[in-house]
Amino acid sequence: MIVSPIERIEITKDDITNIKIDAIVNSATPDLMGGSGVDGKIHKVAGEGLREECKTLNGCMAGHAKITNAYNLPCKRVIHTVGPIYIDGKHSENIILSMCYKNCLKLLNLNELDSIAFPSISSGEFGFPVDVACKIALETVLKELENYPKIKRVVFCCFTDEVYDAYKKEFKKIKEEKGE
């Protein structure tokens, strides 16, 4: 039985480094060496092995994604993606952000994993407005899940009340539009 994309999505308020799931997504800096926020926390919890493996990947361009082992994290793998730095919404930021989610799901599927947790990519230090970022994230993932029936669970892991509330509000709106 294939479960509809909307039924495979969860929104939670938690620290992504605590989630027991196949893969977590790291909203990374282009050098993949660990910055601040979610990126720094993931590197800190995973340990030095993650940093050493990231050194071998030659960085990552915005919108793209790369996968590593998870080391000391409770997940199996870490998918690193570099979100766009928000300027004004007129420099392909929305397209690049959507590409982040698409490429993470593609890597998840290629590695035969079936569950993933996303942070709110680019809505922290990269300055993306949270309400726009969560709309892009949810719409992109819902559309992409139609192509990946083997992906069973997608968690949007929100660290702050503001982000959690924005995701819950947007998800409720989408569900109402779809009549679910």
Residue 9 included in any domain: yes
pLDDT in tens, 39-80: 999 999 999 999 999 999 999 999 999 999 999 999 999 999
Taking the model in full, what pTM does it have?
Answer: 0.96
pLDDT in tens, 75-123: 999 999 999 999 998 899 999 999 999 999 999 999 999 999 999 999 9
Residue 180 included in any domain: no
Q: SS3 for 81-113, per residue? A: EECCCCCCCCCCHHHHHHHHHHHHHHHHHHCCC
Find the domain containing 99 and state its range: 5-175
- Give dist(CA 63, CA 126) in Å, integer: 13
pLDDT in tens, 121-131: 999 888 899 99
Count the Cβ atoms, other than its own, within 10 Å of residue 21. 20
- Give dist(CA 160, CA 100) in Å, integer: 21
CATH number at residue 29: 3.40.220.10
Nearest one of 160, 165, 166, 147 to 8, comparing CA atoms: 147
71: left (phi over 0), alpha (psi -120 to 50) or beta: left
Q: How many domains does the chain have?
A: 1
- pLDDT value at residue 37: 85
- Give dist(CA 158, CA 140) in Å, integer: 17
